[in-house]
């Protein structure tokens, strides 16, 4: 069972990756997934912000909650490695 401590651990792992390039794989259900690359830009108590380079000089920011990682709706992998931010 997930506890507040579990979410705090995920938040701490995300904070450790602040400013690093990450690969995001968002699960949209029914074998649909979207893979994007971006930089973790900011960390807040309930969400974290990722800046996505959408190409052709455009950028987007997307926010995710820590529970998205907990429920595996989004997988966050540090770019260039196989290290994933996940529940310890």
User: Distance between CA 29 and CA 82 in Å, rounded?
Assistant: 23
User: How large is the average pLDDT for residues 14-39?
Assistant: 90
Higher pLDDT, residue 53 or 56: 53
User: Quick check: 67 and 3 in contact, CB under 8 A?
Assistant: no
Does the pLDDT at position 3 exceed 80? no
Two tokens, residue 84 = 């994933």
Instruction: Write down the pLDDT at residue 1.
Output: 63
Instruction: Write down the pLDDT at residue 5.
Output: 86
Does the pLDDT at position 65 exceed 70? yes
Instruction: Write down the pLDDT at residue 80.
Output: 80
CATH topology of domain 4-85: SH3 type barrels. (2.30.30)
User: Quick check: 21 and 37 in contact, CB under 8 A?
Assistant: yes
Model-wide pTM > 0.75: yes
Does the pLDDT at position 55 exceed 90? no
């Amino acid at each position: 069972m997930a506890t507040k401590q579990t979410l705090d651990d995920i938040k701490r792992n995300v904070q450790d990756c602040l400013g690093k390039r990450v690969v995001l794989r968002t699960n949209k259900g029914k074998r649909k997934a979207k893979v994007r690359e971006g930089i973790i830009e900011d960390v807040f108590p309930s969400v974290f912000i990722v800046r996505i380079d959408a190409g052709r000089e455009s950028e987007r920011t997307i926010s995710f909650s820590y529970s998205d990682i907990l429920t595996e709706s989004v997988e966050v992998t540090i770019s260039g490695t196989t290290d994933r931010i996940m529940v310890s």
